[in-house]
Amino acid sequence: MRAPATAGILATAARRTRVQPVWRPARPLAGPHGDDHRMDSTRARADRLLAARPFAQLDLREIAPIPGASVHSGGAFFATAADGRRYKLRECSHRLRALAIARWVRLLPSVFPKLVGREGRLLLLERLDDFRPMTRTELLAHADDLGRIGARVHGASPSGLSGAIGRRAAALRFDARFRSDLRAIAATGLVDAPTHARALAKYQAHHGRFGMPVALELDDLHKGNWMLRESDGAMRYVDEEGVGLRPKGTGLASLLKTVTRTNPWYRYKLGYSEYADAEFLSWPYTEYLLLIDTVRRVAHKARTEAREEKLPDEVAHLRAMAATPELALDWRFPKGDT
């Protein structure tokens, strides 16, 4: 009886993926001032949260947006209790998402800030006052540490549907999403028909070779998502909403797009290999990850107009990847040499 149930869950996941809208019309940021208006909205959310008196036992007296935080990740706030203790408050999209993040944060205490508590879709975490933001140069210098962290995250074994069934369902979703996003990009005219065909052919060749491995993943390994403690070199990933089941290794793609040499890729693999087998991170598989990630980013920027100043570079990367032969072993990173 278990096999039919599994098949039914996967079939349902596939149907849900197919009925999702292929594209949403591009919409401008609300308000005449774009990001300023978004931050005003975040302040209003902070006031609303304070009025709701979450975590009443701690008697929170102040909730405010995190200064300098990206307005595109406006669900995080600083909170101060009556006794002066300070926390980070994360407002998740819904209760089940908060439950999943809470489970993963507890599972990986050396990767995330410590979880203090959860109420509904709210998470209360330690405030990393003894940590500071990292620069791009520092993050690249810690590529081996990122590899060690990546191996530990991939090795986590979430229970329930985040196990084998959930991974298979997620693989179906990500495959359908890539194809949908690529069609939508072509429909906007950002790439022509031959580029679309070449990109799809390359993806299909990679997909036929590698499938769609899915694992617990940290999205966007860029400097804005990491904090460093200078006293011992400890690092923490602070975009809690960025953890979830994704194509295995996709967080690495955003890191590699910022480099001019392949050295961080080798160092990431070296650190990863201390905890797990890193052979899956071959050069062709890395190209596969970069293609998936680039299509996702181009589609998102075109759909939402978020950080659209980066769109021309992302489109150029997509065209360059599409122009190389399928399964090219000599492909180069978008900004770099070897």
| Tokens 């990109």, located at residue | 199
Would you say the C-alpha torsion 168, 178, 216, 9 has a positive or negative sign?
Answer: negative
Calpha distance 288→282 (Å, rounded): 10
Radius of gyration of the chain from Cα atoms? 21
Token representation of residue 174: 């990500």
Confidence of residue 34 (pLDDT cuts 50, 70, 90): very low
- Each residue's pLDDT tens digit, 122-179: 999 999 999 999 998 899 999 999 999 999 999 886 544 456 777 788 899 999 999 9
The answer to whether 333 and 316 have CB atoms below 8 angstroms apart is no
- Each residue's pLDDT tens digit, 90-121: 999 899 999 999 999 999 999 999 999 999 99
Q: Name every residue whose Cβ is closer than 8 Å to that of residue 157 and which is 6 or more positions away in sequence.
A: 163
- Each residue's pLDDT tens digit, 41-90: 888 999 999 999 999 999 999 999 988 665 444 589 999 999 999 999 99
pLDDT at residue 325 tops 70: no
Position 20 scores a pLDDT of 34
Judge whether 336 lies within some domain.
no
Residue 135 exposed, middle or buried by CB count within 10 Å (0-12, 13-18, 19+) = exposed
Judge whether 330 lies within some domain.
no
37 strand-pairing partners: none
Q: Which residue range is the domain that position 113 belongs to? A: 10-323
Judge whether 305 lies within some domain.
yes
Position 310 scores a pLDDT of 80
Judge whether 200 lies within some domain.
yes
CATH of the domain at 262: 3.90.1200.10
Position 8 scores a pLDDT of 44
| Tokens 């359908």, located at residue | 176
Position 313 scores a pLDDT of 85
Q: Which of 335, 331, 313 is closest to 322 using CA atoms?
A: 331
Position 303 scores a pLDDT of 86
Q: Which of 101, 121, 96, 98 is closest to 112 using CA atoms?
A: 101
Among the residue ranges 33-47, 95-109, 211-225, the one predicted with the least confidence is 33-47
pTM above 0.75, yes or no: yes
Judge whether 37 lies within some domain.
yes
Calpha distance 120→175 (Å, rounded): 31
Give the single-character DSSP code of 328. -
Judge whether 329 lies within some domain.
no
The tally of domains found in the chain comes to 1
Judge whether 82 lies within some domain.
yes
Judge whether 4 lies within some domain.
no
Quick one: angle between helices 164-188 and 283-304, nearest 10?
60
Calpha distance 323→12 (Å, rounded): 36
